[in-house]
Structure 1
Amino acid sequence: MIREMKGLVVLFSLFLLNAAERQDLSGKMFTFPVESNTHHVVLSPETNKIFFAVTVCLRAFSDISRAQSLFSLSLPSTDNGFLIYKQKQGAYSVYVLGQSAEFWGLQDESNVWNSVCATWDASTGLAQLWVNGIPSSRKGIKAGSSLTGAPKIILGQEQDSYGGKFDTVQSFVGMLTDVHMWDFVLSPHQITYYTYGGMIQPGNVLKWNSLEFSRNGYVVIENKETSRKAGNG
């Protein structure tokens, strides 16, 4: 009987860990403490509309020098529907519907908070990356396209299939905070405000101050004050 009760407690604990929840995460962060091909957070968007424009902003803190995924959105039609992927320090890729644009010479650092915003406008195909308030060159990806279908949005892993097929060497290790997503392109002024902690309109697709999510595996929610305060954010 005692063994059965222990089993039920373990199963209930796992259910709580994986159950979707909504929280105001202002002043908090997701900590991904170890490399894995399992540990991740699933984000639930506010809308399932067709996207003709996207802005995603987040802050990342890591000491990993290898490539790692910062934000992975997959669609039924393609795994890399909208992906922000850090290749190495100062070098990033943005994928839209499986096609990538490479951005080089961006000013980021290890072991500090780095603010990253990625934008894409379907009407022109122009994508741009902002790191710590400094814009990249604009690059063209998938002009005239749209993001269609129910998105699966994951932090901590890069999706090589719709909602799965993770690879340890692409996993994020470190802390993420202030994740927002909009269905339009933020202005340079708004991105500057975000970078330096100013008040902006929260994301209308994902907003950190009212985020629905589920944690899977070893992911910890902590107060951001527990991290070393340096850099932007």
Structure 2
Amino acid sequence: MVTVLLVSWTPSFATQVGLSEKVLVFPYETDFSFVALIPQKEMALRAFTLCMRVATELPEERQIILFAYRTADYDELNVWREKDGRVSFYLSGDGVFFRLPPLSTFRTSLCLTWESRSGLAAFWADGRRSTYQVYKPGHSVRPKGTVLLGQDPDKHLGGLEATQSFVGEMTDVNMWDFVLSRSMIQAWHYGHKVPKGNIFDWASLEYELSGNVLVVDDD
């Protein structure tokens, strides 16, 4: 039995803490439902690992935003499932694209790693790494922005589009300011203990809900 802990039908920006053993449910597409995440440290990044578990029944030809980080003038880090089914991410400009097993109604463990020195980037799906691609060596992600789950802001906290919104379930969103090793990513996939995310840690995450987003037990 699913226990609904909180439903927000109107914008609510009260900060809440901790989502251990909880799932965010985005029940249908909107241009107003999202979760804002408050990082534990400044997101001035020259490397990162971003992990999440996602499930969706949206058709493959429907574009989906999976993670959005925007400063006042730039999309600093956006992760997408594209209309052609590929998964991509963008660092302040043109993106890089990967062909992964399709997202589906069954939960996928998805991680993304990137580091500035070499530009090496890869996605990990259920503990398996994609081919490496070289993307934006020397780049830095800038701090003082806003992180959203569920929507892609085309301007700072604005310009939301229903046809890009996330619909489905999302949990275990964690982020580190370094590249996790293969063994650590595979351990995370299987639910084993790994170092807590020093940017986002799902168990102690500070977040704000807006619109129609449910927080339910991860049964």
Inter-partner Cα distance in structure 1 for 2:34 and 2:48: 22
TM-score, structure 2 length as denominator? Answer: 0.90
The alignment status of 1:36 with 2:48, answered yes or no, reads no
AA of the residue aligned to 1:99: D
Counterpart of 1:197 in structure 2 is 191
Q: Which among 53, 69, 75 is matched to residue 71 of structure 2? A: 75
Inter-partner Cα distance in structure 1 for 2:141 and 2:172: 23
Counterpart of 2:39 in structure 1 is 45
Q: Which among 102, 112, 119 is matched to residue 113 of structure 2? A: 119
SS in 2 for 1:18: coil
Measured after TM superposition, the shift of residue 18 of structure 1 is: 2.1
SS in 2 for 1:163: coil
Counterpart of 1:91 in structure 2 is 86
Q: Do the aligned partners of 1:97 and 1:142 also contact (CA within 8 Å) in 2?
A: no
AA of the residue aligned to 1:149: P
The alignment status of 1:179 with 2:167, answered yes or no, reads no
Counterpart of 1:165 in structure 2 is 159
Unaligned runs of 5+ in 1: 1-12, 226-233
TM-score, structure 1 length as denominator? Answer: 0.85
Q: Do the aligned partners of 1:107 and 1:134 also contact (CA within 8 Å) in 2?
A: no
Q: Do the aligned partners of 1:96 and 1:141 also contact (CA within 8 Å) in 2?
A: no
Any residues of structure 2 matched to 1:201-220 within 5 Å, and which?
201-220=195-214
Q: Tell me: CA distance 1:115–1:215, structure 2 relative to 1, closer, same or farther (3 Å).
A: same
Runs (4+) off by over 2 Å? none
Measured after TM superposition, the shift of residue 151 of structure 1 is: 2.3
Counterpart of 1:4 in structure 2 is none
Unaligned runs of 5+ in 2: 1-8
Q: Which among 15, 18, 21 is matched to residue 13 of structure 2? A: 18
Q: Do the aligned partners of 1:43 and 1:213 also contact (CA within 8 Å) in 2?
A: yes
SS in 2 for 1:179: strand
Q: Choose between structure 1 and 2 for higher RCO, CA contacts under 8 A separated by at least 6 residues.
A: 2
SS in 2 for 1:71: strand
Number of paired residues?
Answer: 209
State the Cα RMSD in Å.
Answer: 1.7
Measured after TM superposition, the shift of residue 127 of structure 1 is: 1.1
Q: Do the aligned partners of 1:71 and 1:153 also contact (CA within 8 Å) in 2?
A: yes
Q: Do the aligned partners of 1:89 and 1:108 also contact (CA within 8 Å) in 2?
A: no
